[in-house]
Structure 1
Amino acid sequence: MSASFYGTLAAADAYFADRANAPWAVANDGDRLAALVRGSHAVDGLYEPRFVGRRTGGYDQVLSWPRSEATTVNGEVIADDALPLAVTYAAYEAAALELSEPGSLTPVIVAACTVKREKVGPLETEYAVADTSDDMIASARPVLTMLDGLLYPLLRPVLPGILVV
């Protein structure tokens, strides 16, 4: 495993060859490596707050995995030095998205440039406006169902809110 991304270029190439991903196959090594770095960091940025356990190497560890005190949602213990295959595959899938559209998983949001209403001739479009910056960020990020499915066993369970009076 590289210090800056999950998995290896050779393993990613094999992963995408199995899935007949032509855009990955025709990209050059430099573009694929850069996509692996961006994809791995996107996975960490999007999911680390929900990953179980804590970084084995502490705060200065470059990537979120390996982790200490991690278990699956089924209670299976994950070794402190392990990198779950699901994390590697999620990074590969994110890398493919980043290869096809660089920066798409980490959009830059400028609230002042958000259009609420646009009228061109008889056509008019009004965009939803978020109430808070967190809502704006959440609405700009893509919903990655493939990654959600792959990483589900490694995420903290979301508990419903409880109101105490």
Structure 2
Amino acid sequence: MPASFYGTLAAADAYFADRANAGWAVASDGDRLAALVRGSQAVDSLYEPKFTGRRAGGYDQVLSWPRCDAVTVNGEVVAGDATPSAVTYAAYEAAALELAEPGSLTPVIVAARTVKREKVGPLETEYAVADTSDDMIASARPVLTMLDGLLYPLLRPVLPGILVV
């Protein structure tokens, strides 16, 4: 069976030992492995549309990397049989988030269950409500600045729009 997560458990253990992540160290092997799978899936689902190139093994390839025709923002070619360290590290960071709070990177949103206003005794709170389901999904996803920073060199450049009249 092809790999279902980036990196290895041993490498992830070393990565988090270097960063003194005690929560990772005390978790069971099974919990850490499951978190690595969920973290890798989260990286792929959130970032694959932004990666350059295409899956080297085609559509049936389990993970987004390795990729053919991938280049960095600096124009450096990424080998078609390689998974950049940044992708593996991003998957490790996502795994740590998933270990701490399973499912947090892939929230399930049910619009009918969204609370707009809540009153408990004399206190009343009204929450911001998204206008569309896309807005609701976007507002439920966490902002992952660590992953954005790690993966930035591998993402398609965002070019400013120019309107010529």
Q: CA deviation at 1:163?
A: 4.7
Q: Which amino acid aligns with 2:139?
A: S
The equivalent residue for 1:62 is: 62
Query: What are the ranges of 5 or more consecutive residues in structure 2 without an aligned counterpart?
Result: none
**Sequence identity, in percent?**
90
- Structure 2 SS opposite 1:130: coil
- Classify the secondary structure of the residue corresponding to 1:158: coil
Task: Find the counterpart in structure 2 of residue 27 from structure 1.
Answer: 27
Mapped to 1, the partners of 2:146 and 2:121 lie a distance apart of: 40
CA distance in 2 between partners of 1:164 and 1:38 (Å) = 44
Report the alpha carbon displacement of residue 162 of structure 1 after superposing the two structures with TM.
Answer: 4.4
Equivalent position of 2:92 in the other structure: 92
**160 and 129 in structure 1: CA distance in 2 versus 1, 3 angstrom threshold:** farther
Q: Please, what TM-score do these two structures have when normalized by structure 2?
A: 0.95
Secondary structure of the 1:135 match is helix
Task: Give me the TM-score of the superposition, normalised by structure 1.
Answer: 0.95
SS in 1 for 2:40: helix
| Equivalences for residues 37-56 of structure 1 within 5 A | 37-56=37-56
Matched, 1:133 2:127: no
Residue 9 of structure 1 corresponds to 9
Cα 1:158–1:99 shift into 2, 3 Å: same
Distance apart, 1:125 and its partner CA: 1.3
Describe the shift of the 1:119–1:131 C-alpha distance in structure 2 as closer, same or farther (beyond 3 A): same
Residues 91-123 of structure 1, C-alpha deviation per residue, up to 9 Å, x if partnerless?
Answer: 000000000100000000000000111122332
Secondary structure at the residue paired with 2:33?
helix
Q: Which consecutive residues of structure 1, in runs of 5 or more, have no partner in the other structure?
A: none
Match for 2:10: what amino acid?
A: A
Residues paired across the two proteins, number: 164
> Could you say which residue in structure 2 is the equivalent of 1:78?
78
For residues 145-164 of structure 1, the aligned pairs below 5 Å read: 145-163=145-163
The separation in 2 between residues aligned to 1:74 and 1:161, in whole angstroms, is 20
The code of the aligned residue for 2:69 comes to E
- Give secondary structure in 2 for the equivalent of 1:125: strand
Question: For residues 164 and 66 of structure 1, what CA distance do their matches in structure 2 show?
Answer: 39
